[in-house]
């Protein structure tokens, strides 16, 4: 089922193998410690009171009754949070206004979304804390709310923040608007090019707010000592960025805060922002006890950061031979209640797979009375590319071209420029398209029953670089350890240990990987952006090479030969030189390692890298066969294949797992997931029964084909894997439904009632039902 298209010229010993992961047993036996497992004898539980209104002025908060309850130790409101100014700062989440950072975790004078934290309680047990939170009396003046970003751009729309900081807008003045960011990328002469087009498709698309849906909710336990030192135990995608966000809100130096990243039960971008950590810290400071907070599932939906709903217009022109000539798009993205720059990311992706010398895209980030949106796996790309890929499929259909052939004709290659000006290094898009076209799935005939069809789509993600650190140390028996600051979400312990093992000539199980807290290794950015095996892997590689350089010296010292005469080959150090005869026996790393104590002491090395330069983009091509039930509107996925260039697959099992996981999330986005709001802007489907994610009954086995076109920017060719696979499923399923039913919905999710309605509106429902029965 799983296939791999690999460059076999590199003779790796460890890379590309599938060893058992180091953290496997702890995870399957339940010994792994997640944030919720943190517990102290004198620990208090916190609970957060959240706004029931999507937009309201907070007129007064009366905590007296709650505070009087026995066992309630402290109650805090926005007034108890550190006072920060309007200074703008850059964080991993983009441009941030410091005041907004604080008010996001505890409201100021307004509640900006349903679920906005209003007050927090610390009490002796969890249920008491919740009861006390409910006993807090808040007087609100309810204000009109706006949820949809298109509505929010209307002149008479309620203003979410009122006056927007000029700094955020990059302008000299301040103005009253919900539009916080507007980005245009353009190349060539778009209008002129459209006049040469022989076929033009221009369409509008809608997508709904969706949530990452990680199984483990946000959690944080904080201990704020009287000497000013704070420790935070939390499930986060990055201990260091979490520390930076928390320290910025608490206004203390980083040296006073230690973040211990616990094991994490899914993040997908949603566990980058800081929500509970500063609240737990302020409650701990107030009480002298460790304070623990855990979100409920409703909290997660209403108060963490989902992905933007969007309204997207795409216009594409082509020649009759299939050559694309021009594109023009407008992307309107829901931003939630604080400034964001997610629409621009969508704009960076929308045209990237294609040679388009004349292209323009305008991206609009819009404030709404919803929680500030956050990253969600290839943030902003799925929505934009869904729109583009639907238009392309329609063009291919109109031109009666094979949709993948059509894309291959227009595919970008090394040296081509993206609309945002970036130039591609060596990429594997064409190889990926070819692998898809050569796949068993694509070569077999499409399903031909009634309401059955095959869809395809392409996905692009640029992947991230950012900063990472690692320490590699030899043990005195020649085994080694690898320390990184990268939280292990998708198998990083295994992949990073394998990189060190490959360099050092050890087996994967001879290298012991660990995830360090913020006291124990150099600064490392989030596990996200598909960057960990690439960027932290680069740091591990650099540190391991430094260790190996010292091992060369030790071998030379032991043999009393010049270091230039020591070579490493086939897992062992050899003497190849003129200074001595050939009677020097090779030493494996294990053997040499055991002699370190006597040749100058132990060996260790650290490396910190900024990996922005060597980033290699990832392309995916997906194929889905579906069958639509025209009576119920339910779509069944008959077969699904995902093909992706990952550069080099360090541990192919985890690469396949990432691809399969991304596809399943994309299917949820395509078919079922959406935030539903009532007429006052309040989300109503705040649980997994009403917010419908795919289960194992909803998806077939996802077939994967790994394509390996090594990234020249990484010593072992790694590109990054995790995000690209969520991008194509939206278009793939959409195009499959279009081919199966003849109807293009252009609106997600394509849930059963929407499909039925669309079929009825198009007047094809009765005919399809008749054919199916």
Binding site for a copy of itself (CB under 8 A): 20, 22, 24-26, 29, 31, 223, 225-227, 229, 240, 244, 247, 253-256, 258, 467, 469, 471, 473-477, 479-481, 483, 509-514, 516-524, 543, 596-597, 600-611
Q: Tell me the closest approach of the beta carbon of residue 223 to a copy of itself, in angstroms.
A: 7
Q: Which is nearer to a copy of itself, 481 or 680 (CB)?
A: 481
Q: Tell me the closest approach of the beta carbon of residue 476 to a copy of itself, in angstroms.
A: 6
Q: Tell me the closest approach of the beta carbon of residue 604 to a copy of itself, in angstroms.
A: 3
How far apart CA 224 and CA 44 sit, in angstroms, is 13
Strands, E, within 451-603: which ranges? Answer: 452-461, 467-474, 480-484, 511-515, 566-569, 572-575, 587-588
Cα angle 74, 79, 82 (rounded to 5 degrees) comes to: 95
Q: Which is nearer to a copy of itself, 115 or 261 (CB)?
A: 261
Say whether 658 sits in a helix, a strand or coil.
helix
H-state helical runs in 454-601: 492-504, 537-559, 589-593
Q: Tell me the closest approach of the beta carbon of residue 720 to a copy of itself, in angstroms.
A: 18
Q: What CA–CA distances, in Å, run from 25 to 22, 30, 33, 603?
A: 8, 8, 12, 29
Question: Between 381-399 and 728-741, two packed helices, what is the crossing angle to 10 degrees?
Answer: 40
How far apart CA 145 and CA 54 sit, in angstroms, is 6
Q: Tell me the closest approach of the beta carbon of residue 245 to a copy of itself, in angstroms.
A: 12
HEC string for 345-400? HHHHHCCCCECCCCEEEEEEEECCCCCCCCCCCCCCHHHHHHHHHHHHHHHHHHHC
Closest CA to 338 of 383, 293, 273, 279: 273
Which residue is catalytic, options 93, 334, 656, 723? 723
Q: Which is nearer to a copy of itself, 223 or 347 (CB)?
A: 223
Q: Tell me the closest approach of the beta carbon of residue 504 to a copy of itself, in angstroms.
A: 11
Q: Which is nearer to a copy of itself, 22 or 739 (CB)?
A: 22
How far apart CA 661 and CA 640 sit, in angstroms, is 13
DSSP output for 409-434: HHB--TT-B-TTS-B--S--HHHHHH
Phi/psi for 24 (5° steps) reads -65, -50
Q: Tell me the closest approach of the beta carbon of residue 481 to a copy of itself, in angstroms.
A: 5
Say whether 723 is catalytic: yes
Q: Tell me the closest approach of the beta carbon of residue 100 to a copy of itself, in angstroms.
A: 20
* Span between the terminal Cα atoms of the chain, in Å: 33
DSSP output for 714-742: STT-----SSGGGSHHHHHHHHHHHHHHS
Q: Which is nearer to a copy of itself, 229 or 767 (CB)?
A: 229
Q: Tell me the closest approach of the beta carbon of residue 734 to a copy of itself, in angstroms.
A: 40
Q: How many helices (H) and strands (E) does the chain have?
A: 22, 31
Residues in the chain: 773
Q: Tell me the closest approach of the beta carbon of residue 133 to a copy of itself, in angstroms.
A: 27
User: Rg of the chain's alpha carbons, rounded to an integer?
Assistant: 27
Q: Tell me the closest approach of the beta carbon of residue 647 to a copy of itself, in angstroms.
A: 21
Q: Which is nearer to a copy of itself, 229 or 632 (CB)?
A: 229
Q: Which is nearer to a copy of itself, 390 or 463 (CB)?
A: 463
What tokens appear for 681 in the block?
Answer: 């802007």
Q: How many CA atoms lie within 13 A of 576 on its CB side?
A: 8
Phi/psi for 358 (5° steps) reads -125, 105
Partners of residue 610 on adjacent β-strands: 467
Look-up: residue for tokens 């004709």?
Answer: 409
Q: Is the peptide bond before 749 cis (omega within 30 degrees of 0)?
A: yes
Closest CA to 230 of 255, 254, 261, 257: 257
Closest CA to 623 of 530, 516, 702: 702
Q: Tell me the closest approach of the beta carbon of residue 612 to a copy of itself, in angstroms.
A: 8
How far apart CA 273 and CA 150 sit, in angstroms, is 26
How far apart CA 268 and CA 647 sit, in angstroms, is 21
Closest CA to 153 of 179, 117, 130: 179
Q: Which is nearer to a copy of itself, 474 or 755 (CB)?
A: 474
Q: Which is nearer to a copy of itself, 253 or 581 (CB)?
A: 253
What tokens appear for 583 in the block?
Answer: 């009677």
Q: Tell me the closest approach of the beta carbon of residue 590 to a copy of itself, in angstroms.
A: 8
Question: Residue 44 in contact with residue 289, Cβ under 8 Å?
Answer: yes
Closest CA to 514 of 524, 529, 503, 506: 524
Closest CA to 715 of 523, 531, 503, 571: 503
How far apart CA 617 and CA 645 sit, in angstroms, is 9
Q: Which is nearer to a copy of itself, 104 or 258 (CB)?
A: 258
Characterize the bridge pairing of strands 359-366 and 324-334. parallel
Active centre residues (catalytic): 723
């Amino acid at each position: 089922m799983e296939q791999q298209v690999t460059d076999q010229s590199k003779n790796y010993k460890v890379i590309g193998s599938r060893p058992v992961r180091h953290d496997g047993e702890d995870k399957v036996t339940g010994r792994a410690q997640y944030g919720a497992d943190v517990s102290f004898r004198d620990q208090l539980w916190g609970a957060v009171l959240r706004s029931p209104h999507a937009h309201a002025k907070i007129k007064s908060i009366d905590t007296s009754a709650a505070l009087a309850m026995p066992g309630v130790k402290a109650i805090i409101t926005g007034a108890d949070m550190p006072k920060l100014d309007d200074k703008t700062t850059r964080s991993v989440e983009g441009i941030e206004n410091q005041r907004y950072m604080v008010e996001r975790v505890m409201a100021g004078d307004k509640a900006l979304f349903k679920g906005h934290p209003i007050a927090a309680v610390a009490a002796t047990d969890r249920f008491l804390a919740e009861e006390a939170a409910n006993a807090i009396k808040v007087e609100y003046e309810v204000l009109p709310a706006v949820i949809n970003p298109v509505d929010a751009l209307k002149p008479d729309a309620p203003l979410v923040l009122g006056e927007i900081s000029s700094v955020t807008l990059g302008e000299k003045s301040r103005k009253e608007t919900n539009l916080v960011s507007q980005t245009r990328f353009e190349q060539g002469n778009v209008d002129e090019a459209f006049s040469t087009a022989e076929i033009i498709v221009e369409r509008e698309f809608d997508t709904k707010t969706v949530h990452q849906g990680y199984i483990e909710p946000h959690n944080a336990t904080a201990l704020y000592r009287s000497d000013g030192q704070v420790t935070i135990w939390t499930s986060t995608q990055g201990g260091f960025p979490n520390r930076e966000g928390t320290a910025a809100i608490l206004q203390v130096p980083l040296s006073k805060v230690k973040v211990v990243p616990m094991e994490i039960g899914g993040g997908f971008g949603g566990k980058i922002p800081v929500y509970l950590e500063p609240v737990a810290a302020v409650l701990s400071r107030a009480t002298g006890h460790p304070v623990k907070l855990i979100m409920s599932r409703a909290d997660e939906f209403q108060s963490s950061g989902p992905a933007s709903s969007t309204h997207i217009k795409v216009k594409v022109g082509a020649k009759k031979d299939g050559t694309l000539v021009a594109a023009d798009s407008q992307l309107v993205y829901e931003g939630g209640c604080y400034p964001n720059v997610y629409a621009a990311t969508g704009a960076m992706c929308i045209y990237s797979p294609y040679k388009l010398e004349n292209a323009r895209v305008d991206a609009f980030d819009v404030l709404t009375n919803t929680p500030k949106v956050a990253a969600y796996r290839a943030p902003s790309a799925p929505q934009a590319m869904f729109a583009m890929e639907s238009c392309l499929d329609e063009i291919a259909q109109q031109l009666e071209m094979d949709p993948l052939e059509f894309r291959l004709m227009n595919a970008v290659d090394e040296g081509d420029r993206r609309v945002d000006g970036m130039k591609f290094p060596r990429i594997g898009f064409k190889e990926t398209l070819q692998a898809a076209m050569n796949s068993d799935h694509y070569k077999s005939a499409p399903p031909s029953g009634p309401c059955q069809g095959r869809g395809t789509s392409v996905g692009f993600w640029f992947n991230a670089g950012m900063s990472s650190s690692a320490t590699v140390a030899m043990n005195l028996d020649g085994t080694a350890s690898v320390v990184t600051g990268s939280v292990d979400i998708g198998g990083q312990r295994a992949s990073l240990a394998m990189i060190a093992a490959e360099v050092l000539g050890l087996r994967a199980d001879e290298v012991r990987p660990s995830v360090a807290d913020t006291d124990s290794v150099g600064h490392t950015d989030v596990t996200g952006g598909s960057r960990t095996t690439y960027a932290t892997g680069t740091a591990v590689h650099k540190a391991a090479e430094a260790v190996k350089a010292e091992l060369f010296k030790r071998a030379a010292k032991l043999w009393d030969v010049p270091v230039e005469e020591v070579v490493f080959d086939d897992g062992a150090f050899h003497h190849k030189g003129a200074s001595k005869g050939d009677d020097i026996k090779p030493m494996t790393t294990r053997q040499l390692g055991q002699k370190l104590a006597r040749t100058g002491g132990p060996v260790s090395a650290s490396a910190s890298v900024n990996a922005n330069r060597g980033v290699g983009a990832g392309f995916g091509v997906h194929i889905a066969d579906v069958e639509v039930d025209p009576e119920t509107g339910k779509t069944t996925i008959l077969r699904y294949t995902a093909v992706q260039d990952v550069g080099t697959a360090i541990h192919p099992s985890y690469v396949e797992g990432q691809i399969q996981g991304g596809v399943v999330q994309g299917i949820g986005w395509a078919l079922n997931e959406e935030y539903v709001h009532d007429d006052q802007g309040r989300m109503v489907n705040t649980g997994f029964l009403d917010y419908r994610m795919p289960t194992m009954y909803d998806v077939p086995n996802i077939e994967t084909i790994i394509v390996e076109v090594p990234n020249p920017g990484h010593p072992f060719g790694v590109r990054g894997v995790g995000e690209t696979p969520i991008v194509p499923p939206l278009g793939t399923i959409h195009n499959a439904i279009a081919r199966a039913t003849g109807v293009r919905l252009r609106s997600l999710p394509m849930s059963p009632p929407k499909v039925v309605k669309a079929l009825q509106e198009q007047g094809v429902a009765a005919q399809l039902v008749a054919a199916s029965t």
